[in-house]
Amino acid sequence: MGRRWAARLSLAAGVAALLVLVVFGGLVSLVLMGVGWAGLALSAAGVWWMLTHTGRIRVLAVLLLVAVPLAVLALYAAAGLLWVVLVSLGLWALAVFAGRAALVEDAPPAMPEHPARRTERPFLIMNPRSGGGKVAKFRLAERARALGAEVVVLDPDRPQDVAELAREAVRRGADLLGVAGGDGTQALVAGVAVAHDLPFVVISAGTRNHFALDLGLDRKNPARCLEALTDGVELRVDLGYLRAGSTEPGEPAEPGTEVVFVNSASFGVYAEVVQSPAYRDDKVRTILEMLPDLLAQESGARLSVRGDGPVLDAPQAVLVSNNPYQRGDSAGLGRRERLDTGELGVLGVHVGSAAEAAELLLRGGQQGRGLTETTAREVVVDADAPVIPVGVDGEALTLATPVRCRLAPGALRVRVPRHRPGVRLGAPPMDWRRVRRLALTMGRAAAGRGPA
């Protein structure tokens, strides 16, 4: 019943959004809506020109970005229809929200949970600098030791090999490994856990905590992650690997020769930018200085990507992820519904003009010209250079080409708290045909005229 009414509300709100425009604004309001779309396209073009040019053209692009939205709003206000457009947009947003809510049961089910036996010698590594000092703020080391864990707090002034610390702990008898830190550190220790078939605990003490987000962990209070030590369940999730150099597909790698990732590996523009020594000190300025040449492909390597589908030739940016991100959230701003599908997510971006940038924005980041989104069991990223920069879970690396990306399905035994706040079914992308069919079919079924 709830899904039926959500679908009906979605259709009603969508129709109401159009009626408000027609009834209160007539033809003028429809024209102004067209002006709004044109303004959005011009703004996208302005972003493109700002990123791909320097000097006067960049200044003019910034002025365009400021002037266009103000001009559109002024036109709406002068026509006395600003409130009409805002109400219509609000109804449209309600229609999309209700439609996605109606389709939520069609979203992928949550990852299955497995019983977890109690461990005797858990070993945790904590980075005191991660997340602006969350280890100290939440007293994570003291809390973990009170639960019987051995804890090593990294020395901020002395680089340490966290993977070797984990291996040494295993040699001493550790039966669980865990990390309070960023995703890059999580990946290094997760690789050791897989190599020894040990459970792994993620403590969300990093800055962004993308991996913790997709595991449903509490990112606001990392201390709650420690509940996994006393009342936990196991999730069997995939783990990503990168192999550098000219190796054959499917050829087993020597231990220690692969780079592990829990989230994603990025190639192209982003990887080139984060490689710059100046990036850490002034991110915005470094991006603005490097992007024009990189987007025009006047600097950086020319990439090609081979997977299960067509070859991507000369993309400006490539993201290979451990399981695909939700459609529309591929830039890593959203989440992955599952981490156990056994497939890599592949996102390739190639925008060659302001018109393509505008089209990409107006399509809402959906697949089309300029954006390729697919999945694959194995991906090979090659280039016209012997080595290329790669961003691996936020860390800047340089790897020999070609770079092979693969998954180890279900290899990582992640121990998580039995009760965690982020476990939910995400709303799937909006599909008007399915919403309409859901509303009408379920309505006929309720009246005894058809199947549910």
Full 3-state SS string of the chain: CHHHHHHHHHHHHHHHHHHHHHHHHHHHHHHHHHHHHHHHHHHHHHHHHHHHCCHHHHHHHHHHHHHHHHHHHHHHHHCCCHHHHHHHHHHHHHHHHHHHHHCHHHCCCCCCCEECCCCCCEEEEECCCHHHCHHHHCCHHHHHHHCCCEEEECCCCCCCCHHHHHHHHHHCCCCEEEEECCHHHHHHHHHHHHHCCCEEEEECCCCCCHHHHHCCCCCCCHHHHHHHHCCEEEEEEEEEEEEECCCCCCCCCCCCCEEEECCEEEEEHHHHHHHCHHHCCCHHHHHHHHHHHHHCCCCCCCEEEECCCCCEECCCEEEEEECCCCCCCCCCCCCCCCCCCCCEEEEEECCCCHHHHHHHHHCCCCCECCEEEEEECEEEEEECCCEEEEEECCEEEEEECCEEEEEEEEEEEEEEECCCCCCCCCCCCCCHHHHHHHHHHHHHHHCCCCCC
- Residue 239, strand partner residues: 408
Q: Which two tokens stand for residue 95?
A: 């229609």
- Tell me the average pLDDT across 6-26: 83
* 430 or 248, greater pLDDT: 430
The answer to whether residue 236 scores a pLDDT higher than 80 is yes
Say if residues 49 and 62 touch (Cβ distance below 8 Å): no
pLDDT band at 229 (very low <50, low <70, confident <90, very high): very high
In this predicted model, what pLDDT tens digit does every residue of 382-429 receive, in sequence order?
999 999 999 898 788 999 999 999 999 999 999 999 988 865 555 566
Q: Which of 431, 236, 211, 239 has the alpha carbon at shortest distance from 336?
A: 211
For residue 79, what are the CA distances in angstroms to 29, 76, 83, 90? 9, 5, 10, 19
**Sign of dihedral through CA atoms 267, 270, 274, 275?**
positive
In this predicted model, what pLDDT tens digit does every residue of 327-359 receive, in sequence order?
544 444 467 888 999 999 998 887 766 555 555
Q: What is the mean pLDDT of the chain?
A: 82
Say if residues 346 and 28 touch (Cβ distance below 8 Å): no
Say if residues 197 and 413 touch (Cβ distance below 8 Å): yes
The answer to whether residue 123 scores a pLDDT higher than 70 is yes
CA 305-343-393 angle, to 5 degrees, is 70
CA–CA dist 440, 452 (Å, integer):
10
Q: Which two tokens stand for residue 92?
A: 């449209």
Q: Which two tokens stand for residue 434?
A: 């399915």
Q: Minimum mean pLDDT among 46-60, 180-194, 221-235, 270-284: which range?
A: 270-284
Q: Which two tokens stand for residue 401?
A: 């080409």
* 62 or 25, greater pLDDT: 62
pLDDT band at 380 (very low <50, low <70, confident <90, very high): very high
For residue 151, what are the CA distances in angstroms to 93, 125, 135, 160, 295? 48, 6, 11, 15, 45
Q: Which of 346, 343, 325, 330 has the alpha carbon at shortest distance from 407?
A: 343
**So what's the pLDDT on residue 446?**
45
The answer to whether residue 101 scores a pLDDT higher than 80 is no
CA–CA dist 133, 218 (Å, integer):
17
Cβ-in-10-Å burial (0-12, 13-18, 19+) of 313 comes to exposed
Q: Which of 177, 166, 183, 178 has the alpha carbon at shortest distance from 131?
A: 183
**So what's the pLDDT on residue 330?**
41
Place of tokens 């340490």: 160
CA–CA dist 381, 117 (Å, integer):
40
pTM of full prediction above 0.95? no
Q: Which two tokens stand for residue 251?
A: 């050829």
Q: Which of 220, 207, 182 has the alpha carbon at shortest distance from 132?
A: 207
Neighbours of 255 (CB within 10 A): 8
The answer to whether residue 69 scores a pLDDT higher than 80 is yes
Say if residues 98 and 7 touch (Cβ distance below 8 Å): yes
Question: Max Cα separation, the chain?
Answer: 77
- Tell me the average pLDDT across 368-387: 85
